Each structure stands twice: as C-alpha cells, then as structure tokens.
Amino acid sequence: MSLRTSIIFQKLRSIPVSIFFNFYYLPFKQAIKLPILIYKPRLISLKGTLRIENDNIRFGMIQFGFWGNALYSKNQQGINWENFGGTVIFKGSANIGIGSALSIGKNAIIEFGDDYLSGPMVKIGCYKNIVFGEHCRIAWETIILDTDFHETINKLTNKKSNMYKSIKIGKNNWIGIRSLILKGTQTPDYCIVGAQSILNKKYDFPEYCFVAGNPLEVKMENVYRDMKSYIEI
C-alpha cells in the first residue's frame, strides 16, 4: 500500500470521531464542512472552546494525528487532547503530527497562525498563553511549555516564583528536532533554531537568522527556510 493510499484510509477512518469533534466545538455552519480531521485521538478532557478565525473554512484544513513517517511506529499514531477550559484558536490551516499531545489549562489561550505544521511526537502544554506566527514548522519531538508546573520559594524572602510566562514564536520559524521551548520564550520572525536547542527568554536576534548552541547564539544571518521544499523519497 502506498503512503498516499494509507493516508486516504486513515482519513476515511477518522470521519466518525471527526464529526463528533467538529460539532462539539464549532458552530453548525463551520462544523458541517468538517474542517477538522482527527485520527485515533485520546480525548482526555473536552472543556473550553475552539475557534477557527478564517473566512475560507474548508474540509480537512486542520488535521491532527496523521502526518508522520516510517521512523515512528503504529503505536505512536494519533494524538492526545486535553482541554481543561482554555481557548484554542486556529488562524488557518494546521497539521499536527502523529503521537503528539496538546494540554490546555482552564484559563489558557493558544493560537496557531495560518499554515502551521508540527512533526511527530510534539508535546505542547499551554497554561497561560502561546502564540505561533504564520508558516511555523516545529520539528519532531519538540516540547513547548509555558509553565514550570511548580513554584519555587526564596528561602530568605519567602517570595514565590512566577510559574507562568507567555511564549511567542515568530512567523516563518523553523524549530529543530527535539528542541525544548520553555516559558518566556520569544523568537524573531524568519528564525531557524538548531536541533536540541533550549529556549527560555526573549531573544533579540535579527530576522532571517540561524541560531544554535547553549546558550543560543547567531550562527548565520540572511537565511530562512524554504517552506515548500521537502526531501525526495
């Protein structure tokens, strides 16, 4: 069976749960078009809201749990979804790869810019605010968290740490494999981040740059990813 045929079968199998998911979260005029396709989901919590803020609502414009490759097994397919009351906003098309997970806190807001794509096994925990600019690419096994999940206490002052800080990923960003994006991260537009990087603050790098290392530093300027190019197989 070819990859194309396999994906067609996956989409057909996703229709029943996709119908439920669309009509649960979207107004009727949007839901009837089935703009969201979700494959093998583990629906842990279905609170909160989901909005598509785009005038061109179309079938399958947002896909969860399909995109992957042979480096990941069948046991890693699908997607985990838990929304404890927050708001999820899609500005346009999006594709979230196999084995991924989204966890949204009760007061959180997460926004995906148009033409968002993340690879297999990307984990996103949003408990305050995460914004992805348009044309973002998040590579395999990246983890994105806008919280520490726990507070620390200063022994001398008894002051507690700020457990949450917003994250903003600029447009046309390409985040490398197994990167870790922590609370407070802000990246410029047209930024390439090297594999296994750790990000945890606002970076005043110029646009059109490639950054890597620990701590991050600019390795190359005047460069950006061609979002339409892919390896030929």
Model confidence pLDDT, tens digit, residues 113-127:
999 999 999 999 999
Domain presence at residue 230: no
**216 located within any domain:** no
State how far the Cα of 207 lies from the Cα of 228, in Å rounded to an integer. Answer: 19
Q: Which 8-state DSSP code applies to residue 144?
A: E
Q: DSSP characters for 76-121?
A: G-SEEEEESS-EEEE-S-EEE-TTEEEEE-TT-EEEE-SSEEE-TT
207 located within any domain: no
pLDDT score for 8: 65
For residue 101, what are the β-bridge partners?
80, 123
Apex 110 CA angle, 16 and 40, nearest 5 = 25
pLDDT tens figures, 198-226 = 999 999 999 999 999 989 999 999 999 98
Residue 141: inside a domain? yes
Q: Is 117 within a domain? A: yes
Q: Tell me, what CATH number does 108's domain have? A: 2.160.10
In a domain, 95, yes or no: yes
196 occurs within a structural domain: no
Count of domains observed in the chain: 1
Separation of alpha carbons 185 and 112, rounded Å: 16
Residues of the chain with pLDDT under 70: 1-9, 67-69, 73-75, 231-233
Per-residue pLDDT, 229:
77
Quote the domain boundaries for residue 124. 3-187
In the chain, the largest separation of any two C-alpha atoms, in whole Å, equals: 65
226 falls within a domain: no
Neighbouring-strand partners of residue 210: 192, 220
Residue in 168, 158, 227, 228 with CA at minimum distance from that of residue 202: 168
